Amino acid sequence: MNLGKLLGSLKKNKIATFTIFAYIVVFVYSPYLGLDSLKMTSSYFIEMLQILPAVFVVMGLVEVWVSRDTIMGIFGKGSGLKGRFASVLIGSFSAGPIYAAFPVCYTLLKKGSAVSNIVIILSAWAVVKMPMLIVEAQFMGVSFMIVRYIFTVPAIIMIGVITGKIVSKENIIKNSSKEGLLVERIELALPGHSCGACDYKSCRETARALVLEDIDPNVCPVADESNKKELRKLLQGT
């Protein structure tokens, strides 16, 4: 591998490069501290291997069984207060560490959830999860837990609304490093009915076919002019 390719690879994998560099610095500064850091990282990695398979199963079930219209109705832009409180409940009654929330929330985002509600789910998952509240009440007292909850939930909702106005769904998809990014963006550009009128079972399959099989860009008969314009733009790479 020449120097140019090496630098390109390092630039592409910035987080991994920074992490490795940080470990090297720590080991040079204190080998014992470096070993402790490595052991802690290994324990987190093992924990992730135990938890993430279940998370991927949940993602698959949401992808297959829950329609886009259902997600949009509960968590979409027009869901209003219903969507806000549903997001708080989903986050509050979740299970597992916070990093397990990100792939689940990404799936909800693809299926039509508003960015604001995704932020609310993540925030509720992190700070007002029911198991956490139970432990909090035992150690800090019920009154402390109730007062913190009363003030925390409105703050979570406000943060979600503000973030939703600043960060767009398209921007999140655009900056995602997940493989198949173009498929994700084309799926968002399609009407999202998964009606089968194009002879594919879902808009997801249609998006895959548009990217991988080079089929007619006008394959979707229910797409309106704005959908078609966005699809042409994505497929032409402009």
Question: Are 14 and 71 contained in the same domain?
Answer: no
Q: Do 195 and 141 belong to one domain?
A: no
- Give the total number of structural domains in the chain: 3
Task: Indicate if 75 and 159 belong to the same structural domain.
Answer: yes
Domain range for residue 74? 66-172
Model-level pTM greater than 0.85?
Answer: no
The residue among 165, 215, 218 whose CA lies nearest residue 190 is 218
Note whether 220 and 191 are within 8 A (CB): yes
In a domain, 165, yes or no: yes
Does residue 115 form part of some domain? yes
Q: Are residues 96 and 194 in the same domain?
A: no
Q: Is residue 58 in some structural domain? A: no
pLDDT at residue 33, rounded to an integer: 83
Distance (Å, whole) CA 16 – CA 209: 32
Domain end call among 172, 204, 219: 172
Q: pLDDT (tens digit, 0 to 9) for every residue of the chain, 238 residues total?
A: 455 565 666 666 677 778 888 888 888 888 888 888 888 888 877 877 776 777 677 767 766 677 767 888 889 888 889 999 999 999 998 877 888 888 888 888 877 789 999 999 999 999 999 888 999 999 999 999 999 999 999 999 999 999 999 988 767 766 665 546 677 778 888 888 888 888 888 888 888 787 766 677 788 888 888 888 888 777 765 4
Last residue within a domain, chosen from 120, 147, 172: 172
CATH number at residue 222: 1.10.15.40
70 in the same domain as 162: yes
> Residue 148 corresponds to which tokens in the numbers above?
């913190």
Whether 166 and 185 share a structural domain: no
Say whether both 164 and 192 belong to one domain.
no
Tokens 């324990």 label which residue?
43
Same domain as 83, residue 140: yes
DSSP codes joined into one string, 26-86: HHHH-HHHHHHHHHHHHHHHHHHHHHHHHHHHHHHHHHHHS-HHHHHHHHSGGGHHHHHHH
100 and 33 in a single domain? The answer is no
Q: Distance (Å, rounded) from C-alpha 230 to C-alpha 189? A: 6
In contact, 98 and 125? CB cutoff 8 Å: yes
Same domain, 79 and 162: yes
pLDDT at 179: 44
Q: What is the Cα–Cα distance from 100 to 90, expressed in whole angstroms? A: 13
- Assess whether 121 and 27 both reside in one domain: no
Task: Please say which residue of 129, 151, 172 terminates a domain.
Answer: 172
Residues 99 and 162 in one domain: yes
CA distance linking residue 8 with residue 62, whole number of Å:
36
